[in-house]
Each structure stands twice: as structure tokens, then as C-alpha cells.
Amino acid sequence: MVLTAPEHSAPGGRLVWLAADGEGNPVGTASLRFFGDPGQAHLAELAVRVHPVERRKGVGSRLVEEALAGAGAEGRRAVVAPAEGGTPGEAFLVARGFRKALTLRHARLDLTADPGPVASAGGGTADGYRLVAWDGAVPEELAASYADARRAMDDMPMGEVDYGTTSWDVDRLRAAARVVEERGEHLHTVAAVATADGSIAGFTELVVPADGTGDALHYGTAVLPAHRGHGLARLMKAESIDRTRRQYPALAGLLTDTAEDNAAMRRVNEELGYRPTHETYQYQRLL
């Protein structure tokens, strides 16, 4: 086996290794993504792919060994790697020193079914709050408050994965919205605003495929700690679902994933009609 390794990476960049057989035919790759935020400077994410015919020949092990060394050389102290439940990838990672640190439960809302649970939740209000919605980038008058509200994601239950914290500002919000737009997809946000001071107390984001068909994907739902306990997550998500039904009548479903230990959000999803589909896992190795 011949291994082609990268020479260097940029902060927040990626390293890729290519394994080839004696004739130069590619047999496997390893990709190491470095988180660029200062609050996540300790973390990297690993993905390994080996051609089925070439498995159990040491290719994957060599790729992991090189990638872990690369992570250490970049000053990272933790590497995470995803695995589908019930696949050989789980045993492969465990055998190489990774430990299961997070279980994600995936669920889907069938938009072609009777919207009864959503209909009963939609149109509601919570004392002291109002709902606002926008398409694409956040409006200027809400931008600063929305950037502040993003910190609500930092203390969400995420198993034992050392994800650190992510810094958000208005420029980053707009850049994220621009990425979705450039892919041809549609970003939609519903937020809860505290009427006392006009600040954003929580939000839910949804990305719809370019042609408005198939399944859309929830990017995140969060409520700031000081505003929890008022049912805002359920209200925001129900409003988002209702708007999506009306705006994209050909859309088939909505997909979401929630950490196993985030019981509150899983309960919201269940009440709104989401049904479990499968589980995925994040494995972690500390260096």
C-alpha cells in the first residue's frame, strides 16, 4: 500500500490522505476536518472510507493512524468520528481506541399525513413573547440579537462529546445564509422575541431543497436558558412546520436529529408528530 499524505493545512481546514495499491489504484481515503472556531480549537473530525474489496487488509488502520498523528501535530486533543448504528464502522472505531460519546436519534415528520398534532400546536402564543419569521439572511434589525441568541446551542445536551463553544457574529450569520443560498436551497427561520426588550429568546432553522420536493432538514432549534420553560421550542417549531406546509405543498417530509440525552427536544418532536427512523453515533478519541 502506498499512502499519499498532505503537507499542511490551514486553520479550520482539512487534511486528506489517499491510500493506493501497488499499481496506483485508490483503495481508501481519510479526511480530517479541523474546527476553526477558537472555542473548538481542540477538535477535529475524522472520516475514513475503504473500498469494500480492500477491507480487512490494514488499509483503514493505517489511515486512522496517520490521521490521528496529523491531528496531534495540529495541536488537537480530541478527534470525533461518525458511525451508523449497526454497521461495521462501530467495531472498527472501538478497536482503534474510540469510545461512543453521543447517540443521535433521527426522526421524520411525514408532511403528506394528517397534520393533526401540528395543527393543534400551531397558532399558539406564550405570555411575554411573539413569533417572527424570515427567509434567508436575518433582517438587519434582528441581526445582533440573533447572533447573541446562537449561544443557546452551547449548553444543549450533546452526550460526552467535547464540542466546545462556537462564536457567532452578524457576519458569520450572513455567511452561513449565503452558503445555503449558493447551493440553491432555501433557509427559513422562526424566532421567539421577548416583548419586554425585543431580544430574540429562541429560534428554529429549516433548510428546504432547491426544488421544494423531497425532505427538508432542521438545522437547529434552541432557546436561551433564561427563557426556557415557556413552551417556546414547541411553538416555534409548530409555526415553522405550518409555514413550510403552506409554502412548499410538494414537500414530502421534515428531518431532524436530537441527542439521546436531550429529552425535552425529543418530547417536542414526538408531540408534533415526528417518528423515529434510525440512530447514528459520534465516537471520540482523546489524544
Domain C-terminal end among 36, 56, 76: 76
As a whole number of Å, the end-to-end CA separation of the chain is 26
> Do 71 and 113 belong together in one domain?
no
C-alpha cell at 14: 482539512
The mean pLDDT value for 266-279 works out to 94
Residue at 94 is within a domain: no
Distance CA 48, CA 64 (A): 7
In sequence order, what E strands does the chain have? 2-4, 14-20, 26-34, 43-50, 78-84, 99-110, 129-135, 186-194, 200-208, 214-223, 251-259, 275-286
> Do 59 and 6 belong together in one domain?
yes
User: Which candidate, 275, 280, 234, places its Cα nearest to that of 260?
Assistant: 280
On whether the CB atoms of residues 190 and 239 are closer than 8 A, the answer is: yes
User: Which candidate, 83, 74, 72, places its Cα nearest to that of 13?
Assistant: 74
Q: What is the pLDDT of residues 16-32, one digit of tens each?
A: 999 988 888 899 999 99
Per the structure, the complete domain to which residue 241 belongs is given by: 107-277
36 pLDDT band, cuts 50/70/90, is confident
> Do 68 and 134 belong together in one domain?
no
User: Which candidate, 225, 229, 207, 239, places its Cα nearest to that of 156?
Assistant: 225
Bridge partners of 279, per DSSP, are 105
> Do 181 and 138 belong together in one domain?
yes
Domain C-terminal end among 76, 96, 126: 76
Residue at 282 is within a domain: no
Highest mean pLDDT among 98-112, 146-160, 161-175: 98-112
> Do 237 and 181 belong together in one domain?
yes
What is the tally of structural domains in the chain?
Answer: 2
Global confidence as pTM: 0.86
On whether the CB atoms of residues 282 and 81 are closer than 8 A, the answer is: yes
pLDDT of residue 163: 81
The pLDDT of residue 100 is above 60 = yes
The pLDDT of residue 106 is above 90 = yes
Distance CA 123, CA 261 (A): 29
The mean pLDDT value for 253-260 works out to 95
Q: What is the pLDDT of residues 38-81, one digit of tens each?
A: 888 999 999 999 998 888 889 999 999 999 999 999 899 999 99
Side-chain-facing half-sphere of 213: CA atoms under 13 Å: 1
> Do 151 and 27 belong together in one domain?
no
- CATH number of residue 30's parent domain: 3.40.630.30
- Apex CA 156: angle with CA 89 and CA 219, to 5°? 70
Mean pLDDT of the chain: 90
Q: What is the pLDDT of residues 181-221, one digit of tens each?
A: 999 999 999 999 999 999 999 999 999 999 999 999 999 89
Instruction: Report residue 270: phi and psi, to 5°.
Output: -60, -40
pLDDT of residue 118: 66
The shares of helix, strand and coil residues in the chain, as percent rounded to the nearest 5, are 30, 35, 35
pLDDT of residue 141: 95
**Sheet containing 99-110: which strands, arranged edge to edge?**
2-4, 14-20, 26-34, 43-50, 78-84, 275-286, 99-110, 251-259, 214-223, 200-208, 186-194, 129-135
Residue 105 CA: distances (Å) to CA of 32, 118, 267, 275, 285: 24, 20, 12, 10, 21
160 pLDDT band, cuts 50/70/90, is confident
228 pLDDT band, cuts 50/70/90, is very high
> Do 241 and 115 belong together in one domain?
yes
